């Protein structure tokens, strides 16, 4: 399906599903792809008209996503470049010293990495280990805090951190929450959105209207958080392994 705005046009993937009722849902992905989810019984012309009414929104978000992707340069792990932590950019400073203990410190907006031999591979390993430790601590704490606010959860569910190429999180049929540790680089409210999204799946196991009503009840601005996270994805993930 083609949607046009001024002299711009984009081909959109349309997916009709029984899980969607009422209004269509439009997703703009970090690579600029646009997907439209619509009720199974909705006629194509009605879907086209609804998408066209939101053409300005689609192209604003699509253009922003494409611009962000162009800025997402691979990390070189050298002093002066920036790395995200909890949504903020921090300048990387590398100290090479055989007398100084190896480690990473976050100090006044700078990520300071100390190593006896500061080759790029060693800096990357040390920094990724630091991120992994912070993710384990922060995400576990957040899952516990948010779980306490939800009536259908009596105790925080099992949590596992797992790198995923296309997802920030997931919830298994057995009730295990999986989170991408790279989330530690995202803004705090975006992290809370992902965690809440997965915790809602403990009671609503699909993306039905009831699921989104539940999500909205506990986070009114979740769509804004989702858009911000999606728009930052290329920057956050650039060069990470």
pLDDT by residue for the chain (241 residues), tens digit each?
899 888 888 999 898 888 777 788 898 887 788 999 888 888 889 999 999 999 999 988 888 777 666 555 567 888 888 889 998 889 999 998 877 778 899 988 899 999 888 788 889 999 999 999 999 999 999 999 999 999 999 999 999 999 887 789 999 999 999 999 999 999 999 999 999 999 999 999 888 889 999 999 999 989 889 888 887 777 776 545 4
Beta 13-17 vs 8-11: how paired, if at all? Answer: unpaired
As a whole number of Å, the end-to-end CA separation of the chain is 35
pTM over 0.85: no
User: What per-residue confidence (pLDDT) applies to 241?
Assistant: 45
User: What per-residue confidence (pLDDT) applies to 137?
Assistant: 96
User: What per-residue confidence (pLDDT) applies to 42?
Assistant: 87
Contact 15, 34 (CB under 8 A): no
Structure tokens at 124: 């990357």
Q: How far apart are CA 121 and CA 58, in angstroms?
A: 40
User: What per-residue confidence (pLDDT) applies to 178?
Assistant: 96
Q: How far apart are CA 7 and CA 183, in angstroms?
A: 36
Contacts of residue 25, Cβ cutoff 8 Å, sequence gap at least 6: 36, 37, 38
């Amino acid at each position: 399906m083609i949607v046009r705005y001024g002299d711009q046009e984009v081909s959109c993937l349309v997916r009709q599903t029984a899980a969607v009722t009422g209004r269509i849902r439009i997703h703009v992905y970090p690579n600029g792809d646009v997907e439209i989810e619509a009720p199974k019984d909705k006629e194509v012309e009605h879907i086209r008209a609804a998408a066209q009414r939101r053409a300005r929104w689609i192209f604003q978000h699509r253009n922003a996503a494409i611009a962000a992707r162009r800025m997402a340069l691979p990390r070189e792990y050298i002093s002066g470049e920036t790395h995200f932590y909890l949504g903020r950019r921090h300048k990387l400073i590398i100290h090479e010293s055989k007398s100084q203990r190896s480690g990473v410190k976050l100090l006044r907006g700078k990520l300071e990495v100390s190593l006896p031999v500061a080759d790029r591979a060693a800096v990357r390993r040390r920094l990724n280990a630091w991120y992994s430790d912070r993710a384990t601590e922060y995400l576990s704490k957040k899952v516990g805090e948010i779980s306490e606010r939800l009536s259908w959860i009596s105790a925080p569910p099992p949590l596992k951190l797992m790198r995923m190429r296309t997802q920030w999180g997931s919830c298994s049929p057995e009730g295990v929450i999986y989170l991408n540790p790279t989330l530690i680089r995202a803004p705090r409210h975006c992290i809370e959105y992902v965690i809440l999204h997965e915790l809602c799946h403990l009671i609503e196991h699909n993306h039905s209207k009831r699921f989104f009503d539940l999500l909205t009840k506990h986070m009114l601005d979740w769509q804004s958080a989702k858009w911000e996270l999606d728009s930052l994805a290329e920057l956050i993930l650039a060069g990470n392994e």
